Amino acid sequence: MSNTLTETNFNFPGQTDIYKGKVRDVYSLENDKLVIIATDRLSAFDVVMPKGIPYKGQILNQIATKMMAATADLVPNWLEATPDSNVAVGKKCEPFKVEMVIRGYMAGHAAREYAAGKRGLCGVKLPEGLKENDKFSKPIITPATKAEQGDHDEDISREEILKRGIVAEEDYAILEDYTRKLFQRGSEMAAERGLILVDTKYEFGKTKEGEIVLIDEIHTPDSSRYFYAEGYEERQKRDEKQKQLSKEFVRQWLIENGFQGKAGQELPEMSDEYINSVSERYIELFEKITGEKFEKSDISNIQQRIEKNVLEYIK
């Protein structure tokens, strides 16, 4: 497990700033460039797990890169180059302070809220009689924003976003339009691979020229939930769990082991065997969603490899 990328501390030429997120480390360079490094850190319930997952950063970065290329005709994005399998380079943007979550099915957070008796989510009314993993009559947008206290995501309605002035109304209309177009394309791509894109989130930013672009990752197992299409209807009829490819299996494992990120709860110990099984699940999703065999990068010295590749690109 030592050959995982859980921490970076680079000092690239022209570097002006560094921001470390839960999974990605973002290096700002002069000339409004960003170098984003996808680490092997694993986050669930807004908590970073103590051990990294082999190849996870490479998988997330390569899926996101492929998906951005496949949707660039619909929505402009920030990406310019991928000099390393864990690295993406592109335009620096001012991020909108909302995540555009879109759901085609009653799953995950939505299902947990519904089971708790709530019949509305982010200002969207939900009908009676739904069960977990049912398909909605049409996809619903349920935005999230960072809570004012702490780092947790907070459900928020369109009305509240506009009322608080978090996003201007004309910009928000574009975010909604882009979100629906991306989800439609993502759903079509998933269907070609025998998968259902259940729900996902998109993040957007504005360039210094004022263009709204797609940023961050897209259609990865960290940002999205996928079901296998084959047998979906039968499993729903029999009230069985859906066969899925997403990070939800990690959340379920944590819940079963008494952890949901709440105060006083202790993280369960992740054995090497369990960590390797998580890595294998991520590789499975890569191959399933892209239709390509996963080629493992050399991880004998990940830090050195990344630094060499980024420096060569910058030069």
Whether the CB-CB separation of 99 and 153 falls below 8 Å is answered with: yes
- Which structure tokens are listed for 290? 């892209």
Examine the pLDDT at 147 and tell me if it is beyond 80: no
C-alpha span between 51 and 5 (Å, rounded): 10
pLDDT of residue 152: 64
C-alpha span between 197 and 78 (Å, rounded): 23
DSSP structure class, residue 77: B
pLDDT band at 299 (very low <50, low <70, confident <90, very high): very high
Amino acid at 253: W
Q: How do 24-29 and 15-20 pair as beta strands?
A: antiparallel
CATH number given to 15-93+248-314? 3.30.200.20
- Give 57's contacts (C-beta < 8 A, 6+ positions apart): 5, 23, 37, 38, 39, 40, 41, 86
Examine the pLDDT at 149 and tell me if it is beyond 60: no
- Which structure tokens are listed for 152? 């947790």
Over the stretch 164-189, which tens digit does the pLDDT of each residue have? 999 999 999 999 999 999 999 999 99
User: For all residues of the chain together, what is the average pLDDT?
Assistant: 93
Examine the pLDDT at 303 and tell me if it is beyond 50: yes
Over the stretch 220-251, which tens digit does the pLDDT of each residue have? 888 899 999 999 999 999 999 998 877 778 88
pLDDT band at 1 (very low <50, low <70, confident <90, very high): very low
pTM, to two decimals:
0.89
- Give 29's contacts (C-beta < 8 A, 6+ positions apart): 12, 13, 14, 15, 16, 35, 314
Helix (H, G, I), strand (E, B) or coil at 222: coil
Q: Does domain 95-246 have CATH number 3.30.230.10?
A: no
Q: Which residue has the tokens 């009230």?
A: 239
- Which structure tokens are listed for 233? 């209807």
Alpha helix (H) ranges present in 193-271? 232-237, 248-256
- Give 315's contacts (C-beta < 8 A, 6+ positions apart): none
Mean pLDDT score, 123-146: 95
Domain ranges of the chain: 15-93+248-314, 95-246
Taking alpha carbons only, the member of 226, 67, 199, 225 closest to residue 139 is: 199
Find the distance separating the first CA and the last CA of the chain, reported in whole Å: 33
CA 197-116-132 angle, 5° bins: 30
